[in-house]
Amino acid sequence: MPDSSQPTPAARGAKGRARPNLTEGPIASNLLWFMLPTLGSSILQSLNGSINAIWVGRLLGERALAATSNANAILFLMLAFVFGFGMAATILIGQAFGRRDMDAARRVTGTAFTLFAIVLVAVSTVGYVFTPQILALLATPPDVVPLAVDYLRVIFIGMPAALMLGMLMMAIRGTGDSLTPLWFMILSVILDSGLNPFFIEGWGPFPKMGIAGSAVTTALANWVALLGLIGWTYLKDLPLRLRGAELAYLKPSRQLTETIVVKGLPMGLQMIVVSGSAMAMLGLVNVHGVDFTAAFGVALQLWTYVQMPAMAVGAAVSTMVAQNIGAGQWERVAKVTRSGIVIVLAITAIMVASLAAADRTVLALFLGSGSPAMPLARHIQLLGTWGYLLFGVMMVLFATVRANGAVVAPLVILTIGLFVVRLSVASFGQRWLGTDALWLSLPVATFVNLVLAIAYYRRGTWRKAHMSVGGRDPNPGSAEPQAA
């Protein structure tokens, strides 16, 4: 039954701390203010990785930097699955929170926390033991392997904290609170980036650990942030804390486990599809020489930031839609979607225009103003960056449908666009367009994806999909939603 301890629709915590209201009031402004801290967290996370790479490259050299790159490829695969399972839990929490069923939200939290802990400890243990074999599968260069082993083994020790922290942050956002995760992301970034050189070089009282020191600071930062976030959850009596008899929810529920896995796996695979497409494109670009590879690599760095608004707005839309579905307010779902599209187009357009105006300055940070790859990098970003406007709209539509449990269709659509269409244009289009086919392949693929996403959103079966807590329909007897 719904938890009557939540006295108002604004969902105040037990300490009287007001929380964002995503099921009532103005949609656009609530969505915007809920999204901004999520965007800030994404930017900080990317900046943290860039800063750490600078420390490693400057203090230890190219071999050490290559070692971290190989390790990060493994971590991305883990992050992809955690994203999927974490998003599934977040949607369940959002739907439960929307109908003020705090008991259901806490049951989801308990199952997800224990399930993640068991899986991550097991994977970390296996990864630590078989680190050399994993690196061999990646064809890691022999002279990089010793450094990569030292780095990756420490990363495996800290991996449970890093991914548990990500899962808990996503769960808290499911309650409509995107600000608390931001504060603990800031804490993690400050510790990680700030302490890196101390552990690498042995400054002051710190031991000189070389590349392992960089991994130690990452692990330490994540463990401190995770324990701090758990402590803060209880100190402030946030909605997802478990007390007394609720601690029994830490025993995973079979029904909830099945729902999280079945719905989370396709969402995790979406990230694998995106990453796999980029890796395949890199192979097509590499055959044209080092300048092409360098220019494309820089474009990918910039596109990481350009796509952040789409990811942040998508996550916010998914949570807001899930809460409104849980509250039975289907009439707000289409309005949330429209508001999300307007917001993502506005923010992405500003970023694309700013990059076009200052591309030489930005690219010089990576290449140097005299680099022979500079003209090509400018050409690539001018041809390809605008496609992220379409990508943003697509992500909002996907966020809406997955908030009701429709997760397979977005995976299929992405696979068609990013593998079938993109790689076909990039491979065969060079006969007519030359190398421009490589850079135009992403906008063309995204356009096809968007057309399919619109068709599925307007006429698909996503409105009849369900994600349930304990086998219950999250919104029994609700009216059919109106298309946007």
Q: pTM of the predicted model, to two decimals? A: 0.85
| Domain co-membership, 272 together with 213 | no
Band (276; pLDDT cuts 50, 70, 90): confident
Angle at 444 between CA 443 and CA 450, to 5 degrees: 85
Percent of the chain with pLDDT over 90: 47
Band (145; pLDDT cuts 50, 70, 90): confident
Mean pLDDT of the 80-91 span: 84
Q: Is the pLDDT of residue 285 over 50?
A: yes
| Domain co-membership, 329 together with 435 | yes
Distance of alpha carbon 271 from the chain centroid: 8
| Domain co-membership, 204 together with 280 | no
What's the domain count of the chain? 2
| Domain co-membership, 239 together with 269 | no
| Domain co-membership, 235 together with 374 | no
Domain stops at, among 231, 252, 273: 252
Mean pLDDT of the 322-346 span: 94
User: Per-residue pLDDT tens for 166-199?
Assistant: 999 999 999 999 999 999 999 999 999 999 999 9
Confirm whether 10 is domain-assigned.
no
| Domain co-membership, 240 together with 348 | no
Q: From CA 4, how far away is CA 102, in angstroms rounded? A: 9
Domain stops at, among 193, 222, 252: 252
User: Per-residue pLDDT tens for 10-27?
Assistant: 344 434 344 557 888 899
Confirm whether 326 is domain-assigned.
yes
Band (367; pLDDT cuts 50, 70, 90): low
pLDDT at residue 426 in the model: 93
Distance of alpha carbon 205 from the chain centroid: 36
Evaluated on CA atoms 265, 268, 269, 270, the torsion sign reads positive
Q: Inter-axis angle of helices 62-98 and 102-129, to 10 degrees?
A: 160
Answer whether 94's CB lies under 8 Å from 323's CB: yes
Residues 6+ apart with CB under 8 A from 448: 416, 417, 421
Burial of 201 per CB tally in 10 Å (0-12, 13-18, 19+): middle
Q: From CA 284, how far away is CA 372, in angstroms rounded? A: 20
Q: Nearest-CA neighbor of 303 among 335, 329, 278?
A: 278
| Domain co-membership, 410 together with 452 | yes
Helix, strand counts (H, E) of the chain:
18, 0
pLDDT at residue 178 in the model: 93
Band (445; pLDDT cuts 50, 70, 90): very high
Confirm whether 1 is domain-assigned.
no
| Domain co-membership, 293 together with 360 | yes
Confirm whether 15 is domain-assigned.
no
pLDDT at residue 139 in the model: 67
Query: How high does pLDDT run on average in the chain?
Result: 85
Confirm whether 132 is domain-assigned.
yes
Mean pLDDT of the 470-482 span: 42
| Domain co-membership, 243 together with 295 | no
Q: From CA 329, how far away is CA 73, in angstroms rounded? A: 41
| Domain co-membership, 85 together with 150 | yes
| Domain co-membership, 231 together with 277 | no
Confirm whether 447 is domain-assigned.
yes
Band (480; pLDDT cuts 50, 70, 90): very low
Confirm whether 438 is domain-assigned.
yes
Answer whether 171's CB lies under 8 Å from 89's CB: yes
pLDDT at residue 20 in the model: 58
Adjacent-strand bridge partners of 472: 469
User: Per-residue pLDDT tens for 214-259?
Assistant: 889 999 999 999 999 999 999 999 999 999 999 999 999 999 999 9
Domain stops at, among 220, 252, 284: 252
SS3 assignment, position 61: coil
| Domain co-membership, 216 together with 278 | no
Confirm whether 19 is domain-assigned.
no
Q: Which structural domain range is residue 87 located in?
A: 25-252
Strand (E) or helix (H) holding 426: helix 422-428
Answer whether 72's CB lies under 8 Å from 211's CB: no
